Amino acid sequence: MLRKNKERRISLLRYWTTRYAITLAIGLLVLAMLSVVWIRHTTLENRLDVSEFLAAELASRIAGNQQEAAGGQETYLDDDMIEARDELMKMESPPSIFITDANGVILSASEQELYNRDSFPAVILKKDNDVQTFPSINNDNALVYLIKKPITVDDVTFGWVVMLQPEDEFADLNDEYRLLALLILGSGILGWAAIYILSRRLARPISAAAAAAKEIRNGNYGVSLMPSKAKEQEVYDLVTSFNDMAVRLEQLESIRAELLAGVTHELKTPVTSISGLLQAVKDDVVTGEDAKEFITISLNETERMQTMINDLLEFNTFAANALPVSTAPHELNALTRDIVHEWNLARNADSIPVHFHPGGHDLIVLTDPVRFRQIMMNLLNNAAHAIEGTGQMTVTVIDDGDGASIHVSDTGIGIPESEQTLIFERFYRGENKKYKVRGLGLGLPFSELLARAMDGDLELKETSPSGTTFTLKVKKVNVP
């Protein structure tokens, strides 16, 4: 654990930019090496081709002059030949040019640093290859390229044009290498800048979310992230979801505070009442029938407090999956009719009738009748509490095809819009109900857990100032 805490953490921006820079550098280095090999090869080939062309051109001019000359071999070095040689000399690294007779004897040479003999061996001139290499006379490790072209008149070879140039001058690629280095460096900087900008754009909302999460961890639930203008769907979802979570946590924290105050009040009130009543009996403040009435009231308060505690314990037990639910096939219309009849008998004095509308045919569903009764009784209790004065409640069974639904409707005051998303939260009690009905706010959350445990669901179907409808969905058994 200690080692884990000491592990170095780096920012997202630095993490991605450094790793991308390393990957980019390695990739560009490999690309540069391959490019150097390719440029060296292609440039050398191109320069050799150009040199061959110039040697052939020079040989052609000399052959043309030979045809017009009346004399012997001294005509090889006329003005045209000097002009052609000067064109070659204008090259950045001009080759050494030799003009020989048919036997290889050197008649003219631009310079003799690369070759200082009087003639070229016949075996070199007679080879089929116009481009050859041989070691330099000054440096055995360096190569010299030899390019030869015959001086031919009427298919008769009168001599040779020979060009010599060192390999390092042929392969002098400083300009090409500088251009390649510039391109590689520019690509690297551009690529790094792009990933830096993109990583920074991605890191900002994540950093903001992390900072806001620390505030929430410290108990400040009022934080929120600025609305994101990012085009990335994931970043937008992160910001909006975090804001929704923060609002939700703030609501739950408010509910938790109200729960603590509410539970304290709900339990303290009967305890105070019981204590006062029993103290009055003990001190003989009341006697006879009054004392018995005080004791009866104390017992009722005790029973009510015990009911709240049992609800709390039962909810926690079920939420921990420790309370079993046993489902079996039952006829939904008959099961619901019995519950409505029981309710009407028990609550006859309240003058709030419940009208039952069964389904058009028998509906066999999988349910636990005990848990089903708990859910229905809670929904009917809530419906009765929502009605102020006179009104009515309706229970309707509907066949949904794959399942069945029980709609519990009332003509009460409805649920405010601000409370509709919170009614299934544990311990939440609405403003209209908080001061009129005693309880812990576990009825609907517990009923929802029970419904889902039976492969069904409980949801708020609709609500308005003229009434509310809850829908209990159950799983239907298809009977052939």
Q: What is the CATH number of the domain that holds 343?
A: 3.30.565.10
Q: Is 389 contained in some domain?
A: yes
pLDDT band at 51 (very low <50, low <70, confident <90, very high): confident
The answer on 153 and 266 residing in a single domain is no
Residues 300 and 334 in one domain: no
pLDDT attached to residue 8: 66
pLDDT-based confidence at residue 73 (cuts at 50, 70, 90): very low
Q: What is the pLDDT of residues 214-254, one digit of tens each?
A: 887 787 777 777 765 667 677 777 778 878 888 877 777 77
318 occurs within a structural domain: yes
Whether the predicted pLDDT of 420 surpasses 70:
yes
Shared domain for 317 and 367, answered yes or no, is: no
Instruction: Give the domain range for residue 56.
Output: 12-176
pLDDT of amino acid 470: 92
Is the domain of 67 the same as that of 162?
yes
Tens digits of residue pLDDT in 421-452: 777 776 666 656 655 555 566 677 878 878 88
Is the domain of 453 the same as that of 311? no
Phi, psi of 396 (to 5 degrees): -125, 130
Looking at 295, 323, 351, which one is the last position of a domain? Answer: 323
What pLDDT does residue 439 have? Answer: 57
Yes or no: say if 428 and 255 are a contact pair by the CB < 8 Å rule: yes
Same-domain check for residues 373 and 285: no
Q: Can you give the pLDDT at residue 76? A: 44
Residue 440: the pLDDT is 61
Does 166 lie in the same domain as 47?
yes
Non-local (6+) Cβ contacts of 403 within 8 A are 365, 456, 473, 474, 475, 476
17/124 same-domain check: yes
Query: What's the 3-state SS for 445-461?
Result: HHHHHHHHHCCCEEEEE
| Residue 3, pLDDT above cutoff 50 | no
Whether 414 contacts 433, CB under 8 Å: no
Q: What's the pLDDT score for residue 321?
A: 55
How far apart are the two ends of the chain, measured CA to CA in Å? 61
CATH number at residue 310: 1.10.287.130
Query: Does any domain span residue 429?
Result: yes
Same-domain status, 352 and 304: no
Same domain, 77 and 112: yes
What is the number of domains present in the chain? 3
Domain boundary among 323, 344, 368: 323
Do 269 and 409 belong to one domain?
no
